[in-house]
Chains A and B, each alone.
Chain A
Amino acid sequence: MYLWKCWLEYRRVALILFVMTFGSICYVDYAVVSQPQLVNNGEGRTVLLEPGLGRFHKQEMQTAAIEEMKSIHCGWLVLAGLLAAICAGAGGGIGREYDGKTSELLFTRPRSRRSLLWMNWLSGMLILEAISLVPLVTWLAFRLAVTHSIGDGALFQTLLMWLPINMLLFGISLCSGVRLRSAPAGTVCSLAVIFWYGVTVTVLRAHFGLQTPGWWFDKLYGQFPYGHSQFPLGICSLWIAIALLFPYVTQKVLELRDIA
């Protein structure tokens, strides 16, 4: 039942995100395809892409045109995932129970705090991944329609590689929302983490010329979009484990705390 309630809470946010993501992808695709472009074809040559769908059928333009579109959808996939992770934290769940002063109502139902928390996490992750799938599905549809093939699966890999990052942000949002007894405060925390990381890395690299540890992020930023052989399963699993720590800590906080 709590999953159903989470869905009722998330559905509006999910619908808005879905429309925003789908609409903006369609708009950007149209804007890109309808104008001539000068792009690098990956072999050191610059190619002029003609306006219209013809660019995907002409031998000399096809590869560059497809790569260009793939990059756009990759970028959108990353953005949609981040946005959905932040919104999932703000849109519903345990933190919101505190905002609405309904935690007392929820925690007197015969379900353990652990199960309610993980239900909340699961519903948030489902919404989050569903939104992240929009750029992937639109890309596959586009590619099938234009080239009659689904390509090399690079976007699917991108989705998998960003999964831990989205999980991490959602986890931070969920954890701080419960810790601070406010879902918006949780969202602010996850935004602060993104901002802090971006600013720190930029300052260290651009102003001091220092190399920050690569960890996971360099792989994401450095190989965009990604090829088959570059999927780092080990480090991906490690980040998933780190991301899962946040809901686990949240569970412990809930179990040890007085609700009201």
Chain B
Amino acid sequence: MNEFAIETEALAKRYGEVNALDGLTLKAPAGSVYGFLGRNGAGKSTTLKILLGLARATGGSAKVLGETVHPENLAILERTAYVGENKPLYEGRTPAELVRFNGGFYKTWSDEAAKRYSEMLDIPMERKIKTLSKGNRTKVSLLLALAQGAELLVLDEPTSGLDPVYLDEILRTLVEDHVSEGRTVFFSSHDLSEVEQIAEWVGIIDKGKMLLEARLDDIREHFRMVIASGNGLPEGGTDVVSVRRDKDFCHYVLSREGAGFAAKLEQQGAIVLETKPISLREVFLALVRKEAGNVPMEVLA
């Protein structure tokens, strides 16, 4: 078994003059839940499309489940379930017909699982897709992916449109039915609370670059924010993830050794106002804020 379910190295994608991906390197460990975070247009969906062979990279390399990514690599598609950002479904068909359609493509497909998930999510299986609400369409997309029995689930904002009850059901199912069986879930999301709920790993990208890739537990335990004031404050450092200047204050996000860094600043004559643990949300905001001076990071754990 491969150590990483998804592995990219300096992945690049250009659309004309626009760099959608600019040397993205990520490593999603096999059997983990990986939350892929970024602002709108950061390159999340482009990354997922390249991984699924829908788009071609213009540079770098990528591997999924040990297989090199390219559009005709059916070995990846056989072992991977994908839910796209817009939840594309055949409007004129019913969920029951889509289940039949999808089931025919996969050896690992389970009709029994499809039935179980359709009941769990209360999907109206005999109604045409075009008559379904956004939430129900999302549920159908997830049903098709979950019943596939894939080794890797690649989900692009999978829970958009779901109410909190179904959202909770889906997240629980992802963990109980998939991750517990050693499968990998790689999902992009804007909802940080959802990511904090189930993800073990997070990757934060911006402008096509990986800013941070770390275990969520490491962020909780080791990441610190240091707010300091003074002259000649450093613009970076070994463990500094981001620096943001706000008038007379400097906000540092550190991946470890927050107390040591604060002590060092004090030795240099700075006034350290606060050293505190930092949430995923604060890390995310610190990294992707326009005015933030980010230091692209390697894998931290």
Q: Give the interface of A toward B (CB within 8 A).
A: 1, 4-5, 8-9, 100-105, 107-113, 255, 258-260
Contact = CB atoms under 8 A, between A and B. Distances in A.
B55 A1 contact: no
Contact of A101 (B56, B71, B86, B97): B86
A120 B249 CA distance: 63
A101 to B, nearest CB: 5
Interface string B66-85: 00000110100110101010
Contact of A104 (B72, B74, B84, B90): B84
Interface of B: 49, 52-56, 71-72, 74, 77-78, 80, 82, 84, 86, 88-93, 97, 100-102, 104-106
A236 to B, nearest CB: 34
Nearest to B15: A258
Contacts of A260: 49, 54-55, 84
Contact of B105 (A8, A102, A111): A111
Q: Which of B80, B88, B106 has the most CB of A within 10 A?
A: B88
Contacts of A8: 92-93, 97
Given A105-B88, A258-B54, A258-B55, A110 B105 contact: yes
Contacts of B84: 104-105, 108, 260
B104 A258 contact: no
Nearest to A115: B74
Contacts of B82: 108
Contact of A4 (B52, B53, B80, B104): B104
Contact of A110 (B55, B56, B77): B77
B128 to A, nearest CB: 12
Given A105-B84, A108-B52, A113 B101 contact: no
Given A1-B102, A111-B105, A258-B49, 5 more contacts: A102-B88, A102-B90, A112-B72, A259-B55, A260-B54
A111 B72 CA distance: 8
Contacts of B105: 1, 109-111
